[in-house]
């Protein structure tokens, strides 16, 4: 509006009819009227508000029903997947359908309007399969959160909808397969028809075996249900075709980015799983003073990223594979790893155009995008068997992919117990030399690794701290196996030459939170690297104290092997106790005496104090670390304390602790 303000200057020499102030106000009002009139022409259309059970308009196809009709499919396999296994199983089932005279598609529930499930009956012989993983404390995976919310709120009738569910979980967790069981039960409540029993996959045992066993019973039952016969085709069904790029602008080639091309060169918030932030490593120090393990503390800088985090959240990092292993794979398969390629989906209607960002090089795919360290699943062995020139190798590989007891035992010993990755399998089966593009198609995606954040944003708003232990062991075949992420993190050195090591990362929100009222006591139990989130909690409680807040008792139970070797953060913890931030520091050194002492033993020693804090003072309990043994033993110790000091039976004590969990007063951040 500056153009109007200059007008009075042109009239300076004449006797003004109006005062300068009048003219100023007049032109200002005129300007505002013109601005209003012009902007009205460009007014945004009034948004339409749709009801919950109506599809939203979108440029991308959000109707899986229309897609199924258009492409002649009758089976849709939805997946809830956090680490990629659920998605992998869904892809296998959708490929299977072809062998049984049906046509399937794998689908991410996040990409489709799930209320359209009610229309599935419009397609003859149709079926919805759900491969649903459970995350954390019985939660849905990130991509299934909206579907879970919809299931809880919807009262849509699903009459005529056929479905089955395969659940992925881990028995060591409190809420084993909670998500799969909920989907199975809720779909039935909404009127859908369960055509095959809920499958339960246990990652603490052998998830692959559970899936193969369920799948081998499932397909014959479906053939009977739909009155179809298996085609008997055992030939490999390729999902992608290879295109080699001999003359391509290298600026159009992916070099490790997960979403937008060149996103690592020009970083733009917001940062998430498809667009991680490259955080410079500013600290990388060894935590343990002695011993043969390597425990590390890293700090990454998030200045200027607009990333926010809370104590208890997880930082997700995207590691890369060891270059030596990548080079060996290229060597053994006799390929030029720097060849630029694309793997293009043969199904043009699929939302998933490539198995990983393309075009890229084999080297980038094997380094950044593919999991080449995890022992391959049975379907990979089955598909690769055709390339083994020795009939015995071919027979064994196919046998391992079957549900026959002999085949299961062979897979268990040769692949799982001996911990053979794809390179080890190729080395030990010299007749097996598959084309590298088929191998890349079959390998699962390399996933982000989650670490509990070991800092508080109140104290460290511009950095995130990570505490981790290097994974390194020798397998039965004498091979040294190194953890992908921890080896990669260990090598993220803080350089003096101005070149900073960076870590692609984003934040995953957690329910692991300090009590809303700072005056509530907190009891933290975290041996080993389970100390991580509690470093953040302790920093935050200290900060609250400095702000003059009334802070309740802050009690820590930490455990390690030897006081002089792996007492992590010893100086920080002892200082926090000295200043009164930690009310009581209890440390169990398991191997410093003949009789092993663990955190659960210390809990029993302090039972009177603990019972008062829990039963009378409203304390919040937090457990972090190993789910298989520690978390279970600690929970048992709490049952025993409630039993003894609360005068309860074991059943009542169990219910008492379970009620604390429901109220959010007993939280676990555990892994197995």
Banded pLDDT at 56 (limits 50, 70, 90): very low
Domain that holds residue 193: 64-226
| pLDDT above 60: residue 121 | yes
Reply yes or no on whether the pLDDT at 248 is more than 70.
Answer: yes
Is 591 marked within a binding site?
yes
Q: Which of 210, 301, 313, 669 is catalytic?
A: 669
Q: Give the pLDDT of residue 672.
A: 78
SS3 category, 193: strand
Q: How far apart are CA 241 and CA 56, in angstroms?
A: 33
Mean pLDDT of the chain: 91
Of all residues in the chain, the percent with pLDDT exceeding 70 is: 90
Asked about 358 being catalytic, the answer comes back as no
The closest of 428, 322, 342, 324 to 381, measured between CA atoms, is 428
In a domain, 8, yes or no: no
Domain shared by 371 and 276, yes or no: no
Question: Nearest-5° angle of CA 666, CA 670, CA 672?
Answer: 145
CATH of residue 534: 3.40.50.80
Q: Is residue 583 part of a domain?
A: yes
Three-class SS string for 302-341?
A: CCCCCCCCCCCCEEEECCCCCHHHHHHHHHHCCCCCCCEE
Please confirm, yes or no, whether 671 is among the known catalytic residues: yes
Query: Are 559 and 587 a contacting pair, CB within 8 Å?
Result: yes
Q: Are residues 88 and 215 in the same domain?
A: yes
User: Are residues 529 and 641 part of one domain?
Assistant: yes
Report residue 489 as tokens: 């993190």
Same domain? For 205 and 80 the reply is yes
| Mean pLDDT in residue range 192-209 | 95
CATH number for the domain spanning 464: value is 2.40.30.10
C-alpha Rg value of the chain to the nearest Å:
30
3-state secondary structure (DSSP) of residue 57: coil
Q: Is 581 within any annotated ligand binding site? A: no
Look at 151-155, 230-234, 273-277, 621-625 and tell me which has the smallest mean pLDDT: 230-234
Spell out where 8-119 has E strands: 75-80, 104-107
**Between 420 and 628, where is the model more confident?**
420
- Number of Cβ within 10 Å of residue 664's Cβ equals 13
pLDDT at 49: 35
Residue 1 reports pLDDT greater than 60: no
652 within domain boundaries? yes
Q: Is 133 annotated as a binding residue?
A: yes
Residue 165 confidence class, pLDDT cut points 50, 70, 90: very high
Average pLDDT over residues 335-339: 98
Give the Cα-Cα-Cα angle 152, 157, 163 (nearest 5 degrees). 80
Task: Return the DSSP state at 45.
Answer: P
* 382 annotated binding-site participant: no
Helix (H) or strand (E) holding 481: strand 480-482
The residue count of the chain comes to 672
> What is the CATH classification number for the domain harbouring 80?
3.40.50.360
Q: Which of 501, 624, 626, 667 is catalytic?
A: 624
pLDDT at 14: 35
Does 212 count as an annotated binding residue? no
- Residues 8-22 have a mean pLDDT of 42
Classify the C-alpha dihedral 640-646-648-652 as positive or negative: negative
Q: Which one from 452, 457, 510, 667 is the annotated catalytic residue?
A: 452
What is the arrangement of strands in the sheet containing 584-589, beginning at the earlier edge strand?
A: 584-589, 554-560, 522-525, 620-626, 666-671
In this model, does residue 16 exceed pLDDT 50?
Answer: no
- Which pLDDT score is estimated for 349? 80
Is 85 annotated to bind a ligand? Reply is: yes
Strand blocks (E) in 354-444: 360-361
Catalytic residue among 214, 219, 488, 671: 671
Q: How many CB atoms lie within 10 A of CB 646?
A: 13
Distance, in Å, from the CA atom of 627 to the CA atom of 508, rounded to the nearest integer, reads: 20
Strands lying side by side in the sheet with 360-361: 240-245, 340-345, 360-361
SS3 572: helix
Whether the pLDDT of residue 500 is over 90: the answer is no
pLDDT band at residue 28, thresholds of 50, 70 and 90? low
DSSP annotation of 118 reads G
Q: Is the model's pLDDT at 12 over the cut of 80?
A: no
Q: What does the pLDDT read at residue 242?
A: 98
671 is in an annotated binding site: yes
The token pair that represents 617 in the structure block: 């003072």
Q: How far apart are the first and last CA of the chain?
A: 65
Determine if residue 77 is labeled as part of a ligand binding site. no
Closest CA to 81 of 146, 133, 9, 121: 133
| Count of domains forming the chain | 4
| Burial (CB count <10 Å: 0-12, 13-18, 19+), residue 98 | middle
> Each residue of 533-586: pLDDT tens digit?
999 999 999 999 999 999 999 999 999 999 999 999 999 999 999 999 999 999
Parallel/antiparallel/unpaired status of strands 620-626 and 666-671: parallel
Average pLDDT, stretch 367-389?
Answer: 96
Q: Is 468 among the annotated ligand-binding positions?
A: yes
Q: Is 547 exposed, middle or buried (0-12, 13-18, 19+ CB in 10 A)?
A: exposed
Rounded to an integer, the average pLDDT of 337-343 is 98
Position 236 in a domain = no
**The pLDDT value given to residue 60:** 61
On whether both 453 and 312 belong to a single domain, the answer is yes
Task: Output the domain CATH number for residue 407.
Answer: 1.20.990.10
Same domain, 608 and 495: no
- Does residue 235 have a pLDDT over 70? no
101 and 208 together in one domain: yes
For residue 15, what are the contacts with CB-CB under 8 A and spacing of at least 6? none
Known catalytic residue: 214?
Answer: no
Q: Does residue 233 lie in a domain region?
A: no
CB-CB contact of 300 with 282 (8 Å): yes
Arithmetic mean of pLDDT, 279-299 = 96
Q: Is 170 assigned a ligand-binding role in the annotation?
A: yes
* Total Cβ atoms within 10 A of residue 193: 15
Structure tokens at 497: 């030459």
Q: Could you say which of 396, 418, 447 is where a domain stops? A: 447
As a whole number of angstroms, the distance between CA 8 and CA 4 comes to: 8
Tokens of 257: 């980015």
Do 491 and 363 lie in one domain? The reply is no
> Annotated binding residue at 171?
yes
Decide: residue 377, CB within 10 A, 0-12 exposed, 13-18 middle, 19+ buried. Answer: buried
Contact 633, 139 (CB under 8 A): no
Tell me whether residue 169 is annotated as binding.
yes
Q: Are residue 429 and residue 362 in the same domain, yes or no?
A: yes
End of a domain among 176, 204, 226?
Answer: 226
- Known binding residue 35? Answer is no
Instruction: Return the closest-CA partner of residue 541 out of 523, 526, 560, 559.
Output: 523
In a domain, 498, yes or no: yes
Q: By the 8 A CB rule, do 254 and 431 touch?
A: no
Mutual orientation of helices 632-645 and 650-662 as an angle, nearest 10°?
120
User: Is 95 part of any known ligand binding site?
Assistant: no
DSSP-derived secondary structure for 423-490: HHHHHH-TTB---HHHHHHHSPBPPPEEEE--S-TTT-TTEEEEEEE--EEE-TTS-EEE-HHHHHHH
Residue 309 is assigned to a ligand binding site: no
652 is in an annotated binding site: no
Q: Are strands 340-345 and 360-361 parallel, antiparallel or unpaired?
A: antiparallel
Comparing 173 with 75, the larger pLDDT belongs to: 75
Domain annotation covers residue 3 = no
- Residue 39: pLDDT over 90: no
Band of the pLDDT at 6, cuts 50, 70, 90?
Answer: very low
What's the CA angle centered on 627, arms 626 and 632, to 5 degrees? Answer: 115
In contact, 177 and 144? CB cutoff 8 Å:
no
Tell me if residue 311 is catalytic: no
The b/e string for 606-633 (b: 16+ C-beta within 10 A; e otherwise) is: bbebbbebbeeeebbbbbbbbbbebbbe
* 533 and 653 inside one domain: yes
Residue that is last in its domain, among 177, 198, 226: 226
In-domain check, residue 57: no
In this structure, are residues 422 and 376 in contact, taking their beta carbons and an 8 Å threshold?
Answer: yes
pLDDT of res. 612? 98
The C-alpha atoms of residue 86 and residue 70 are separated, in whole angstroms, by 26
- Known binder of ligand: residue 175? yes
Average pLDDT over residues 620-642: 96
**375 and 440 together in one domain:** yes
In the prediction, which pLDDT does 106 show? 95
Residue-wise pLDDT for 385-420, tens only, equals 999 999 999 999 999 998 899 999 999 999 999 999
Same domain, 439 and 391: yes
Alpha helices in 261-318 (DSSP H): none
Burial of 590 (0-12, 13-18, 19+ CB in 10 A): middle
Mean predicted confidence (pLDDT) in 651-655: 97
Tokens for 367, please give them.
């380094």
């Amino acid at each position: 509006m500056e153009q109007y303000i200059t007008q009075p200057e042109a009239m300076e020499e004449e006797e003004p009819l109006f005062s300068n102030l009048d003219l100023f106000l007049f032109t200002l009002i005129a300007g505002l009227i013109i601005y209003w009139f012009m902007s009205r022409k460009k007014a945004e259309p009034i948004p339409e508000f749709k009801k919950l059970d109506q599809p939203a308009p979108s440029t991308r196809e959000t109707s899986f029903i229309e897609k199924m009709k258009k492409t002649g499919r009758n089976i849709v396999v939805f997946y809830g997947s956090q680490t990629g296994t659920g998605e992998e199983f869904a892809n296998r089932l959708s490929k299977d359908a072809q062998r049984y005279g049906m046509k399937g598609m794998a689908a991410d529930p996040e990409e489709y309007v799930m209320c359209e499930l009610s229309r599935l009956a419009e397609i003859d012989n149709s079926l919805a399969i759900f491969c649903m993983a459970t995350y954390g404390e019985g939660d849905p995976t990130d991509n299934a959160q909206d579907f879970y919310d919809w299931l809880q709120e919807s009262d849509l009738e699903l009459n005529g909808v056929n479905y089955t569910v395969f659940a992925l979980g881990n028995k060591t967790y409190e809420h084993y397969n909670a998500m799969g069981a909920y989907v199975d039960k809720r779909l039935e409540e909404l009127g859908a028809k369960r055509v095959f029993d809920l499958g339960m996959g246990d990652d603490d045992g052998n998830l692959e075996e559970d899936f193969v066993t369920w799948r081998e019973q499932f397909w014959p039952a479906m053939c009977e249900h739909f009155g179809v016969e298996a085609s008997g085709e055992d030939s490999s069904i390729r999902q992608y075709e290879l295109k080699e790029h001999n003359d391509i602008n290298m600026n159009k080639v992916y070099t490790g980015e997960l979403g937008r091309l060149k996103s690592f060169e020009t970083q733009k918030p917001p940062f998430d799983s498809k667009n991680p932030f490259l955080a410079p490593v500013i600290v990388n120090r060894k935590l343990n003073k002695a011993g043969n393990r390597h425990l590390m503390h890293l700090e990454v800088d998030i200045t200027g990223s607009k990333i926010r985090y809370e104590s208890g959240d997880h930082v997700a990092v995207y590691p890369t594979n060891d270059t030596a292993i990548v080079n060996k794979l290229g060597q053994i398969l006799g390929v030029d790893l720097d060849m630029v390629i694309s793997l293009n989906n043969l199904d043009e209607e699929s939302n998933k155009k490539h198995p990983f960002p393309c075009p890229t090089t084999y080297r980038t795919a094997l380094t950044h995008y593919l999991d080449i360290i995890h022992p391959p699943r049975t379907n990979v062995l089955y598909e690769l068997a055709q390339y083994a020139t020795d009939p015995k190798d071919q027979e064994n590989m196919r046998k391992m992919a079957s549900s026959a007891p002999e085949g299961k035992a062979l897979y268990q010993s040769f692949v799982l117990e001996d911990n053979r990755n794809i390179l080890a399998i190729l080395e030990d089966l010299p007749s097996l030399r598959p084309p590298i593009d088929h191998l890349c198609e079959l390998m699962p995606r390399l996933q982000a690794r989650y670490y509990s954040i070991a800092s508080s944003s109140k104290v460290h708003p511009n950095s995130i701290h990570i505490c981790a232990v290097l994974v390194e062991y020798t397998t039965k075949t004498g091979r040294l196996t190194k953890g992908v992420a921890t080896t990669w993190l260990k090598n993220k050195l803080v350089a003096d030459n101005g070149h900073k090591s960076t870590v692609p990362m984003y934040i995953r929100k957690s329910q692991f939170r300090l009590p809303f009222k700072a005056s509530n006591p907190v009891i933290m139990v975290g041996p080993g690297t389970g100390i991580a989130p509690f470093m953040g909690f302790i920093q935050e409680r200290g900060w609250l104290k400095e702000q003059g807040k009334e802070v309740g008792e802050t009690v820590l139970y930490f455990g390690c092997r030897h006081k002089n070797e792996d007492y992590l953060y010893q100086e920080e913890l002892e200082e926090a106790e000295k200043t009164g931030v930690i009310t009581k520091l209890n440390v169990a050194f398991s191997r410093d005496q003949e009789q092993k002492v663990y955190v659960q033993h210390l809990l029993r020693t302090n039972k009177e104090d603990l019972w008062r804090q829990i039963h009378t003072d409203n304390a919040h309990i937090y457990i972090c670390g190993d789910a298989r043994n520690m978390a279970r033993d600690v929970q048992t110790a709490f049952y025993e304390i409630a039993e003894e000091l609360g005068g309860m039976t074991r059943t009542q004590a169990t219910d008492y602790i379970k009620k604390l969990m429901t109220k959010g007063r007993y939280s676990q951040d555990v892994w197995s």
